[in-house]
Structure 1
């Protein structure tokens, strides 16, 4: 009986209670049904929007575009080579005199690349001087005189004849050679990955100068070919005709130009000749002289100046003010003085 009435000391009672609580915490919580706290997920990063390539104004057309490399293409222009392909997409087209008083086109592309361009023909010595104002562009052509090839290889450009970029060319059906060779511009530029982007070549775009002569049509003559430019108010451009026939393309229809520049230049004999012995003309594009600028249905007298080959060509009014072109595609006819 003495054992039954033994008193428990207060410290011992506290120890017993603490042990019971600890036991419950160690073994009883797992079955208590109380959920464990859910970890907070890390914050989801905000989606990033790709930064688009900055748009700018093309120095060749004055229209909105993105920086892109320059591809110049030498295009055949005798009657069996027409209609052309891809010509309507050119930012800029030069008309140059070649052997026999015929002409050939040098089309410059940067803003827009069509699927194919042609027919492609051979380069001339004048092309080297003309293209120096473009920095270091790519040049697609189908050959050259043997003595001219070293000059093209040494020039500040990327020459792309078929033998150097065979995957960039194909023969089209329906025409005999040599009027059936076409270049694929995307592949051509892939073969010249360091071709420079379009740069300022002296053109200025904006409102027309005051005055000017109202004209509906203007014809420019070479010894064995002629070009006629007819104003089309509905299209706000000049329809192009070659040797009396409207110029058309196989992919875009009629050929038009927003601005036409008739640049009077010196055309002299070069030291080269073709396979028939005809002397190749040399068109001088460094220097100065007179010009006529056709835009908005009017003809404006102008002067052109290009002091050195590395610089662009500026066009001014007779009193020296910059002469703006209409934004769009430009044709420059390098006509005999």
Structure 2
């Protein structure tokens, strides 16, 4: 970008007249004549402003240091719960299976807590494990038996709609239960105060970020791909890269993923697929996920796909490349958990 500066050049001409009547003398009569103004445009580069701080979960530059504790919210992803509210403001969104081949989101908010979040859904034990690893203030509405034990024992600071339905959590008349529980930003903060939870960040993730798109060079060009949970189309997610914007947009079952509050498509900088064992543990189809052992992963960014790995580093599931945290493009990141069976090759499909 450039600023335009006008430089005014004014010229005056002195006309000298000689008188024949005054012998041996010259009479000088200065006459000032103003010439038309000439404006010359000179392009001067505008100095780039480097912001002094960086958002720890997105890598985006900010003017003030962000000290907000992460808030982790279980977001309902049933077809009757779409479109969701507040997902465009999340720093990171994890998508993973619950029972019955239905996925749920775990949305991380640290840069900003939106005014409305939801629909909020119930907790699972591995959701609580992720909240613990992030040292996040955890929000859910309901729980599995194992998750209830963990929450009651104080594994993480949390509030739950089972105790605060109609108090901190509000039911929308636009949808039917259990797809209609929402919480506001004000009630998130009020809930933290009610249970005595600090909202100051105490654990900074060790995510690494590129300084520009030029850093994303090595890999396979892939502009569109899908991640398919289950056998139907209800949880088939398609991601398409838009090079003019430098982001991915997402569709599920052929419908663009938007934020209900803004009616705009979400904009994703990185999509990461982490492969891990999934095991059915009860007659209701509840699952156990192996979050500690690490494994194979794919990362999609700037229209490039790379095969990498993931590790659990101090409780945080970290994309890794050549033994160090894989660099991310600044912006929102989506992380999909992929069952080892059928695996990455079966569930992730490259599209023309």
TM-score where L is the length of structure 2: 0.73
**Offset at residue 249 of structure 1 (A):** 1.6
Q: 2:269 matched to 1:239?
A: no
Indicate the SS of the match to 1:179. Answer: coil
Match of 1:266 in 2: 277
Match of 1:255 in 2: 266
Q: 2:298 matched to 1:292?
A: yes
Match of 1:214 in 2: 221
**Offset at residue 146 of structure 1 (A):** 4.2
**Offset at residue 173 of structure 1 (A):** 2.3
Please give the residue correspondences for 1:40-189 in structure 2 after superposition, counting only pairs within 5 Å.
Answer: 56-65=53-62, 66-135=66-135, 137-146=136-145, 148-166=147-165, 167-189=167-189
Q: For residues 312 and 145 of structure 1, what CA distance do their matches in structure 2 show?
A: 22
User: Is the 2:125–2:146 contact (alpha carbons within 8 Å) kept by the matching residues of 1?
Assistant: no
Report the CA distance shift for 1:126/1:200 in structure 2 as closer, same or farther (over 3 A).
same
**Offset at residue 169 of structure 1 (A):** 1.4
Q: List gaps (5 residues or longer) in structure 2.
A: 1-50, 341-352
TM-score where L is the length of structure 1: 0.76
Q: Which has the higher strand share?
A: 2
Please give the residue correspondences for 1:7-26 in structure 2 after superposition, counting only pairs within 5 Å.
Answer: none
Q: For residues 314 and 78 of structure 1, what CA distance do their matches in structure 2 show?
A: 27
Q: For residues 87 and 232 of structure 1, what CA distance do their matches in structure 2 show?
A: 20
User: Is the 1:83–1:249 contact (alpha carbons within 8 Å) kept by the matching residues of 2?
Assistant: yes
User: Is the 1:68–1:198 contact (alpha carbons within 8 Å) kept by the matching residues of 2?
Assistant: no
Larger Rg over CA atoms: 1
Deviations 1:276-305 (A, max 9, x none): x52211222211111111111111111111
User: Is the 2:131–2:137 contact (alpha carbons within 8 Å) kept by the matching residues of 1?
Assistant: no
Q: 2:322 matched to 1:324?
A: no
Runs of 4+ in structure 1 over 6 Å off? none
**Residue 197 of structure 1, aligned match among 178, 201, 206:** 201
Aligned-residue CA RMSD in angstroms? Answer: 2.1
User: Is the 1:97–1:104 contact (alpha carbons within 8 Å) kept by the matching residues of 2?
Assistant: yes
User: Is the 1:59–1:198 contact (alpha carbons within 8 Å) kept by the matching residues of 2?
Assistant: no
**Offset at residue 55 of structure 1 (A):** 6.5
